[in-house]
C-alpha cells in the first residue's frame, strides 16, 4: 500500500480536529489544521484544555483517518498539539502528513522524548514537568507562559539552552493577562531578544 493507507493499522487518541487561524507565536495568523491529541501528565494548574489530559477518554483514530481530514480541509499547515502530544509516537503521523504536502508543526512542553519529523517545533516548557534536554536542543521557537514574576527567570534558563536562531516569546497566562501584560512589556523593552506572543484566537473568537 502507498500513501496514507499504509498507516491504517496505527491509531492515536484525538480529542478534536479543526481548521482555524494559528493564534500564538511565530506562525500567528496562518491558516492551520489543529490536531489535538488526548493525554497529558504535565498538569498545569492553569491549563484551559484539562479535558485533554485523560487519553482513554478520547476516541482513537487511524493515522489514515486523521490525515484524510487534514487533507480535505485544504490546509497548508498541521499543528499537532494536546494535551502533550509527545506522549505518543508521532513518526507515522508526521510522515503521512508531509507526504500529502502539509507542513508539520509541534506544540509541546518537551517533557517526553521527541518523535516525528517536524518543520517547526514550538517548545513551551512547564515547571510542573520540565522538558528533556534533547527537545530543548531541537526547538525552533521557545514560548514561555508567564503566570507570575518568577517565570521570567524560568524563561531565561531555557533561552540560554536553545539553539542559535530559536525564536523567543513571552506570553501572559490568559486569566492573568491584565496583571502580567504590563510586566511583560517592560521586560521585553529591557530584554529585546524576547518578543510578545498573545493568544489572538481568544480575541477574535475562533478555536
Give tens-digit pLDDT for 55-70: 999 999 999 999 999 9
More confident residue, 85 or 177: 85
Paired with 171 in beta bridges are 145
Q: For all residues of the chain together, what is the average pLDDT?
A: 92
Cell numbers describing residue 205:
473568537
Q: Are strands 77-81 and 60-62 parallel, antiparallel or unpaired?
A: unpaired
pLDDT reading at 13 higher than 60: yes
* Mean pLDDT within 161-173: 97
Grid look-up 494536546 returns 82
| Cβ–Cβ < 8 Å for 85, 112 | no
* Domain 3-203 falls under CATH 3.40.50.2300: no
Cell numbers describing residue 153:
527567570
Please give the Cα distance from 169 to 200 (Å, whole number).
14
Structural domain boundaries in the chain:
3-203
Report the predicted TM-score, pTM, of the whole model to 2 decimal places.
Answer: 0.91
* Mean pLDDT within 132-145: 97
Please give the Cα distance from 179 to 158 (Å, whole number).
24
| Cβ–Cβ < 8 Å for 54, 96 | no
Please give the Cα distance from 53 to 98 (Å, whole number).
27
Phi, psi of 169 (to 5 degrees): -130, 140
Q: Are strands 103-108 and 77-81 parallel, antiparallel or unpaired?
A: parallel
Amino acid at each position: 500500500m502507498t500513501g496514507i493507507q499504509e498507516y491504517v493499522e496505527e491509531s492515536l487518541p484525538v480529542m478534536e480536529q479543526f481548521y482555524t487561524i494559528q493564534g500564538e507565536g511565530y506562525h500567528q495568523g496562518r491558516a492551520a489544521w489543529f490536531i489535538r491529541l488526548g493525554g497529558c501528565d504535565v498538569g498545569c494548574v492553569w491549563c484551559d484544555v484539562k479535558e485533554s489530559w485523560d487519553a482513554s477518554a478520547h476516541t482513537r483514530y487511524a493515522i489514515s483517518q486523521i490525515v484524510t481530514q487534514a487533507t480535505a480541509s485544504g490546509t497548508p499547515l498541521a499543528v499537532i498539539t494536546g494535551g502533550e502530544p509527545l506522549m505518543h509516537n508521532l513518526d507515522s503521523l508526521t510522515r503521512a502528513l508531509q507526504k500529502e504536502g502539509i507542513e508539520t508543526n509541534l506544540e509541546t512542553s518537551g517533557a517526553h522524548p521527541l518523535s516525528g519529523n517536524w518543520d517547526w517545533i514550538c517548545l513551551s516548557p512547564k515547571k510542573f514537568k520540565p522538558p528533556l534536554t534533547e527537545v530543548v536542543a531541537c526547538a525552533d521557537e521557545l514560548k514561555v507562559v508567564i503566570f507570575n514574576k518568577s517565570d521570567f527567570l524560568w524563561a531565561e534558563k531555557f533561552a540560554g539552552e536553545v539553539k542559535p536562531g530559536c525564536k523567543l516569546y513571552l506570553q501572559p497566562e490568559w486569566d492573568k493577562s491584565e496583571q502580567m501584560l504590563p510586566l511583560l512589556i517592560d521586560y521585553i523593552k529591557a530584554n529585546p531578544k524576547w518578543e510578545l506572543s498573545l493568544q489572538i484566537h481568544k480575541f477574535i473568537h475562533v478555536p
